[in-house]
Structure 1
Amino acid sequence: MPLYVYSITAATHPCRLDGLTGVGTDPAPVRAITAGRLRAVVSDVDEEIRPKRRDLTAHQEVQDRLIADGTVLPLQFGYTAPDDRAVSEVLLEHADGYLAALERLRNCAEYHVKASQDEEALLREILGGSDRARQLNERIKAGDADPRLPLELGELVAAEVGERQERLAAGLVESLVSLAEDHSVRAPSDGDILNISLLVHDDNKDAFLRAETRLADQTERVRFRFNGPLPPYSFV
Structure 2
Amino acid sequence: MAVYVYSVVLSSHPQRLDGLDGVGDPPAALRTVRSGILSAVVSDAPEELRPKRRDLGAHQAVQERLMADGTVLPMQFGFTAADDDAVREVLEGRSDELTERLRALEDCIEYHLKAAQDENALLRRILQDSDEARELNEAIRSGDSSPELPLALGELVSQEVQARQDRLAAGVLDALRGFAREERSSQATGNDFLNVSFLVARDREKSFLDEERGLAKELGEDFDLRLLGPLPAYSFV
Q: Please classify the TM superposition score into its range, dividing by the shorter chain length.
A: over 0.9
Q: Is residue 205 from structure 1 mapped to residue 209 from structure 2 by the alignment?
A: no
The structure 1 segments of at least 4 consecutive aligned residues displaced by more than 3 Å after TM superposition are none
1:94 deviates by 1.1
Please identify, of 86-95 and 59-68, the stretch whose mean Cα deviation from structure 2 is larger. 86-95
* Distance in structure 2 (CA, Å) of the matches to 1:38 and 1:4: 17
CA RMSD of aligned residues (A): 1.0
Q: Check conservation: 2:21, 2:58, Cα contact below 8 A.
A: yes
Any residues of structure 2 matched to 1:43-54 within 5 Å, and which?
Answer: 43-54=43-54
Secondary structure of 1:33's match? strand
Aligned ranges 1:126-205 → 2 under 5 Å: 126-205=126-205
* Residue 46 of structure 1: how far off its partner (Å): 3.7
Match of 1:235 in 2: 236
Distance 1:46-1:195 versus aligned 2 partners, 3 A rule: closer
Once the two structures are superposed, what CA deviation does each residue of 1:42-90 show, in whole Å capped at 9, x if it has no partner? 0112413122222111111111111110001001111111221221121
Amino acid at match of 1:213: R
Q: Distance in 2 between matches of 1:17 and 1:206?
A: 29
Are the aligned partners of 1:111 and 1:198 in contact in 2 as well (CA < 8 Å)?
yes
CA distance in 1, matches of 2:46, 2:226: 38
In structure 2, C-alpha distance between the alignment counterparts of 1:163 and 1:71, rounded to whole Å = 40
Secondary structure at the counterpart of residue 116 of structure 2 = strand
Consecutive unaligned residues of structure 1, counting only runs of 5 or more, are none
| 1:192-222 CA-partner distances (Å, limit 9, x unpaired) | 0111100001111111111111111111221
- TM-score (normalised: structure 2): 0.97
Residue of structure 2 equivalent to 1:118: 118
Identity of aligned residues (%): 55
Residue identity opposite 1:182 in structure 2: E
CA drift of 1:35 comes to: 1.4
Contact 1:27 1:45 in 2 (8 A): no
Partner SS, residue 178 of structure 1:
helix
Q: CA deviation at 1:234?
A: 0.5
Deviation at 1:142, TM superposition (A): 1.4
For 1:212, give the aligned amino acid: E
Counterparts of 1:133 and 1:187, CA distance in 2: 28
1:214 alignment counterpart: 214
Matched letter for residue 222 of structure 1: F
Can you give the 5+ residue segments of structure 2 that lack an aligned partner in the other structure? none
Amino acid aligned to 1:121: A
Secondary structure of 2:179 counterpart: coil
Q: CA deviation at 1:22?
A: 0.8
Matched residues in 2 for 1:89 and 1:135: separation?
67
Q: Which residue in 1 is equivalent to 2:81?
A: 81
Amino acid at match of 1:174: D
Task: Tell me which moved more, 125-134 or 193-202.
Answer: 125-134
Length, aligned pairs only: 236
